Structure 1
Amino acid sequence: MLKDFNPEFDAIGIDFGTTECCTAVIRKHGPDFVALDPTTSNRTLPSYVGFDEKEPKCGKIVVDRMRNHANCTVYDTKRIMGREFDKIVTDSLWPFNVINANSGASIEVDTFEGKKIKSPEEIVAVLLAHIKSNLESYQGRILSEAVITIPSGSTDEQIVSTAKAAELAGWETVHFLPEPIAAAFAYFTEKDFLNNCNILICDCGGGTVDICVAKISGGKFELLNYDGDSYLGGRDFDKLLFNYFETILKHTYKIDISKSNKKYLLNQMCQNIKHNLSTLAEDTLAVDSFECDSNDFIPITREKFEILALPLILKMKDVILRSISKANLQKDQINYVFQVGGGCRMPMIKKMLKEIFPNSNHQCSIYPDWVVAHGAALYAYHLKTTKANGNKSPLSNRAVTGLLDRLKGVKNMVKFQFLPPKSSTNTTNIPA
């Protein structure tokens, strides 16, 4: 790995996720992750936007205030933007309305000024502007260019929608990179691998699952296939727990939370329980959080959670097997399996991967929540140095060269959107 980077290039990578965002910037010794959340100072920012005050808010503070300001909150925007109205799968927990406006699907949300109709791009622009502001404070200067990652199954419409949001947020030049490719970029600029080996990257994020299958041969990285499911992610595991506990509260304790804002509290608690069950064999839900007269606890074991989640695990397994088949490989030909995204912390996903690939080398050595932003920043650095050094990048002596050569030849798989200043005409290009 290159040890001495030039921080003056301002190489920025942004992982814009369904549930969380993360960003990295290249400093002297490599990618550095910028604190984004104003409440927790965490490097990941919940993709929630609140409109209950004059200035929109982002992150954990919005999540924590949902019990009182749910109708002013928007999240899961990534599952809405760039989609036709009749193809959007709505969630019963959404406190906002998705309506069919003239310009396509729009979001109706309460604000401090009353009810407003906003485009998904306007919502996402708030998040991307917040990220931009934090990056500029960290770097000490105005920034205009970034690499933003997208799900592998993104349509042209979704890419254009994200580009519009970036432009509204003040980004002038944006390059798009599929999330599993960004993860591949991180691993293959950080680690050494055996020659003539096949690898699989399983990226289980909050809203999507992305699978990348590739081959390393002759020191080059060849992308064989990547696939995904944009309606399968950590959010869907949360929903399983929510339905489980909501049913018990209703039928055992006669507590109906469906018409109160306590359903958002339950949703948050289910996320925490999901995280806890990655390390604990059993966890509980306190009933007094919903009914002060009860001191009971509702238990759930990891085994029970895994039974509930079996249909989701089977869907994920289908995506993996489909990807391997399209790459013209057999399961036993995969030498390395890389686990990316917060969802890969769940033991059931690790177990499923191990069962499919019992003889593979399984790795989760780069922090799973940050690895996509990590790779995006490295790719941004490659673009900057290639331009500055006459098409020669200090990263090109590794597997990166083969990766980029492959990307340039795959039409409709990888798109890089360049947003010039607003006075110019937008164009879409594949980098040379």
Structure 2
Amino acid sequence: MAKISINLATGSLQKEEIIVGIDLGTTNSLVAFINPDKNPQVINDTGKGVLVPSVVHFNAQGDAIVGNEAKAFLITDPANTIFSVKRLLGRSYKDVAGHQDTFSYKIIDDETEALVKIRAGGKFYTPIELSAQILKELKARAEHALKTPVNRAVITVPAYFNDSQRQATRDAGRLAGIDVLRIVNEPTAASLAYGLGLDPNQQKTIAVYDLGGGTFDVSILSIQNGIFEVLSTNGNTFLGGDDFDRAIVHYWIEKNRLDTHILQEDNALMQSLRLQAEAAKKALSNQNLYNEKLGDIWCTIDKQTFESLIAPKVTETIDSCAQALRDARLSITDIDEVVLVGGSTRTPYVKQQVAEFFGREPHDQINPDEVVALGAAIQADILAGNRSDILLLDVTPLSLGIETMGGLMDIIIPRNAKVPTKAGRQYTTSVDGQVNMKISVFQGERDLVAENRKLAEFELKGIPAMPAGLPKIDINFLLNADGILTVQAIELRSGVKQEIDVKPSYGLTDETVEKMLIDSITYAKSDVAQRMLIEARSEGEQLVYTAERFIEKHGSYLSTEEISKTRKHIEALRTALQQPEKDEILKRTDELNEYTRPFAERVMDVAVSAAMKGKSIDRE
């Protein structure tokens, strides 16, 4: 007798697999699927709520706690509780240097273009690992609610995310045990949720206004023949509902004449005030006065005062809308639809200002917290082939990339990218005076090139001899409709150029592709661990080289003790580099960085002082 599985959650016949849509947000994340009635639906697992706060806490044992349970630790243990990790995805320290005070946890500063790392509980984490923890929680909730394995997903990102940030999002999915079928722009997903773009005959220009907890962006999209094109995007990655909360907190501090110095020391009180301000903001969407007490502090504010406090920030967002229109070379009359996304668009004043600017009522019928995830679920349904009315363009079956230091695979065109497509990245040299660069092209999903399929290799010759890090080498991949890949390398300062054509999918059976994909998920954890160890070693070796060179060149500006201590730190790092312990290498790298940072500033001060006197010192 054949057994038929029934999904107890939905009452429908059990499917082998469901492809879900995931909105990986700065403040909150959520997951959606297409229900048996063919409608997109968000998942609320066992009444925990639809929204999973994008917060990760590490306890004393180093175990990760994610979501609602982790949120409480923002007050009690802020140093080991990570929030807003999306802002750090695919970013170097230089990208976030001006915003370090926004985070209560330690971001490692190595003053290079290397991607940021976060220290919590004595360990070092990348934003990819932390995002993977959030995705694992979403995966677990979806599987529990649907009683079905969830191994494949569409994940959304802001339209302004660059290639590095998109790849980091893919890597986070893979580390969480999810095959990321497509990275979709959030404004595209929101438009799909409203049915915009599902009709192939529809031609529209849409403005998507997305104001979340920590970020704001506006995107102007053109839809033709079911294809979404981002005409322009504008915004501020450090503007959102959190600023509304902060404005209320500052208002209460002034009204209650609170000592700002005491508040700076009292992290718990500041967090409590912030949470009270958040409650006030939400309440003022439906009432005219908020009046509560926090200990001896009166937390009172009326709607008119609140709106006057947030007006400058809302005006900033409207200015961004005007700039986005200018960038797209369009006027307000060219916009056919306006879509609201993000919880902060619930504030009536925000909605009113958007409507006034665009001269039309925006779409806000769908919950603005859920609209992106619901659109991602629709995109997942399209990819699953369940919508026969929508044509799926050809996609590349496996990722294409090049080999970088330590035998790592750096993906340039991710799998499932639409064909034809083009993408590129910029690289530099790692050794002083390097004049040639070997470029090896690979196809596959594993982190080490040794596990992937080599397609071609060529050499870029004649790079001008310069110090390491100075040459700028663009490597571009162009994949045409016939599946021919052209790889081009060009050194921008000199114009030296080389290119090669390869056919990436030649000789690969469907079974081989499938095995490569399964292996990439099976070995994701060990692959990422290996990648991180190699990256830590590369970074450590580079720092040893730089520090020794600095002593040789500028030793006269250092005391004997400083030189001695620097050498001790270098030796400690050298010893760590021989061990397979990533955290130990990063710890020693961090210590050497911290100790030597003032030296570079000292040399710079001397250089500036000498220049002011009309003298000069040796340059590197």
| Short-chain TM bin | 0.7 to 0.9
Aligned to 2:35: 27
CA distance 1:253–1:105, change in 2 (3 Å): closer
Q: Which residue of 2 aligns with 1:301?
A: 302
- Of 164, 167, 178, 1:157 maps to 164
Check 1:431–1:171 CA distance in 2 against 1; reply closer, same or farther (3 A cut): farther
Is the contact between residue 220 and residue 328 of structure 2 (CA under 8 Å) also seen in structure 1?
A: yes
CA distance, structure 1, for counterparts of residue 69 and residue 135 of structure 2: 17
SS at match of 1:170: coil
Amino acid at match of 2:115: G
Question: For the structure 1 residues 226 and 179, does the alpha-carbon distance in structure 2 shift closer, same or farther, using more than 3 Å as the test?
Answer: farther
> Which residue identity lines up with residue 263 of structure 1 in the other structure?
M
Query: Any conservation in 2 of the 1:172–1:421 contact (CA below 8 Å)?
Result: no
Residue in 2 aligned with 1:168? 175
Q: Work out whether residues 17 and 207 of structure 1, in 8 Å CA contact, stay in contact via their aligned partners in 2.
A: no
1:84 maps to 92
Q: Give me the whole-angstrom Cα distance separating, in 2, the residues matched to 1:178 and 1:187.
A: 15
Which residue in the other structure is 2:316 paired with?
Answer: 315
Alignment map for 1:11-410 (pairs within 5 Å): 11-29=19-37, 30-35=39-44, 41-52=48-59, 54=61, 55-88=63-96, 89-90=98-99, 92=101, 94-101=103-110, 103-110=114-121, 115-188=122-195, 198-215=205-222, 223=229, 225-229=231-235, 230-249=237-256, 251-252=257-258, 256-260=262-266, 261-288=268-295, 294=296, 297-358=298-359, 360-385=360-385, 393-396=387-390
Distance in 1 of aligned mates of 2:479 and 2:60: 41
User: Aligned partner of 1:92: which letter?
Assistant: D
Q: Is the 8 A contact 2:211 2:241 kept in 1?
A: yes
RMSD of aligned residue pairs (Cα, Å): 3.5
> Per-residue displacement from partner, 1:251-289 (whole Å, max 9, x unpaired)?
35789322122211122112111111222222135241x
Does the residue aligned with 1:385 lie in a helix, a strand or coil? coil
Deviations 1:375-423 (A, max 9, x none): 001101101107xxxxxx43528xx99xxxxx8678669xxxx984668
Instruction: State the Cα distance separating 1:338 from its structure 2 match.
Output: 1.8
**Cα offset, 1:426, TM superposition:** 10
Q: Relative to structure 1, is the Cα distance of residues 44 and 298 closer, same or farther in structure 2, using a 3 angstrom cutoff?
A: closer
Q: Determine if contact 1:145/1:171 at 8 Å carries over to the other structure.
A: yes
State which drifts further: 142-151 or 228-237: 228-237
**CA displacement at 1:160 relative to structure 2:** 1.9
Q: TM-score, normalised by structure 1?
A: 0.81
Q: Name the CA distance, whole Å, in 2 between partners of 1:356 and 1:275.
A: 24
CA offset at residue 5 of structure 1? 12
Over 3 Å counting, the alpha-carbon distance change for 1:127 and 1:254 in structure 2 is closer
Q: Is the 8 A contact 1:7 1:26 kept in 2?
A: no
Task: Give the drift of 1:337.
Answer: 1.8
Quote the Cα distance in structure 1 between the aligned partners of 2:384 and 2:478: 16
The answer on whether the counterparts of 1:126 and 1:169 sit within 8 Å (CA) in structure 2 is yes
Does the aligned pair in 2 maintain the 1:5–1:28 contact within 8 Å?
no
For 1:363, give the aligned amino acid.
H
Q: Structure 1: which amino acid aligns with 2:173?
A: A
Distance 1:172 1:262, change over 3 A: same
Partner of 2:3: none
TM-score (norm 2): 0.58
Residue 233 of structure 1: CA displacement? 2.0
- The higher-RCO structure (CA 8 Å, 6+ apart) is 1
* 143 and 216 in structure 1: CA distance in 2 versus 1, 3 angstrom threshold: closer
In structure 2, do the counterparts of structure 1 residues 142 and 255 end up closer, same or farther at CA, with 3 Å as the change threshold? same
Q: Which runs of 5+ in 2 are unaligned?
A: 1-11, 394-417, 425-442, 455-476, 482-620
Secondary structure of residue in 1 paired with 2:207: strand
Shift of 1:335: 3.4
Structure 1 counterpart of 2:234, which letter?
G
Could you report, residue by residue, the CA deviation over 1:62-104 in whole angstroms, capped at 9, with x for unpaired residues? 2223332222211011112211102204253532111125853
The residue identity in structure 2 corresponding to 1:380 is A
Whether the 8 Å contact between 2:20 and 2:154 is mirrored in structure 1 is yes
1:150 offset after TM fit, Å?
A: 0.4
Offset of 1:310 from its aligned partner?
A: 2.4
Give secondary structure in 2 for the equivalent of 1:43. Answer: coil
Distance in 1 separating the partners of 2:351 and 2:420: 33
Partner of 1:369: helix, strand, or coil? Answer: coil
Deviates more, 1:208-217 or 1:312-321: 208-217
Secondary structure of 1:256's aligned partner: helix
The whole-number CA distance in structure 1 between the counterparts of 2:230 and 2:105 is 40
Mapped partners of 1:419, 1:13: distance in 2 = 24
Cα distance, 1:193–1:118 mapped onto 2, change above 3 Å: closer
Contact residue 421 and residue 478 of structure 2 kept, 8 A: no
Distance 1:224 1:16, change over 3 A: closer
Q: Which amino acid aligns with 2:99?
A: T
Q: Distance in 1 between matches of 2:164 and 2:117?
A: 15
Secondary structure of 2:116's match?
strand
Instruction: Go from structure 1 to structure 2 and tell me whether the alpha carbon gap of 1:426 and 1:204 turns closer, same or farther (over 3 Å shift).
Output: farther
Question: In structure 1, what is the Cα distance between the partners aligned to 2:355 and 2:22?
Answer: 30
Alignment CA distance shift 1:133-1:241 (3 Å): same
CA shift, 1:353, in A, is: 0.9
Secondary structure of 1:315 counterpart: helix
Q: Percent identity?
A: 25
How far does residue 10 in structure 1 lie from its aligned partner after superposition? Answer: 1.1
Name the SS of the counterpart of 2:279 in structure 1.
helix
Distance 1:426 1:325, change over 3 A: farther
Q: Return the offset for 1:361.
A: 3.9
Alpha-carbon separation, structure 2, partners of 1:91 and 1:178: 27
Where does structure 1 lack aligned partners over 5 or more consecutive residues?
Answer: 289-293, 387-392, 402-406
**Pairs aligned (count):** 398
On the 8 A contact 2:187/2:208 being kept in 1, the answer is yes
- Tell me: CA distance 1:34–1:190, structure 2 relative to 1, closer, same or farther (3 Å): farther
Letter aligned with residue 330 of structure 1: S
Sort the Cα spacing of 1:193 and 1:307 in 2 relative to 1 into closer, same or farther, 3 A: farther
- The 1:191/1:157 distance shift into structure 2, 3 A limit, reads closer
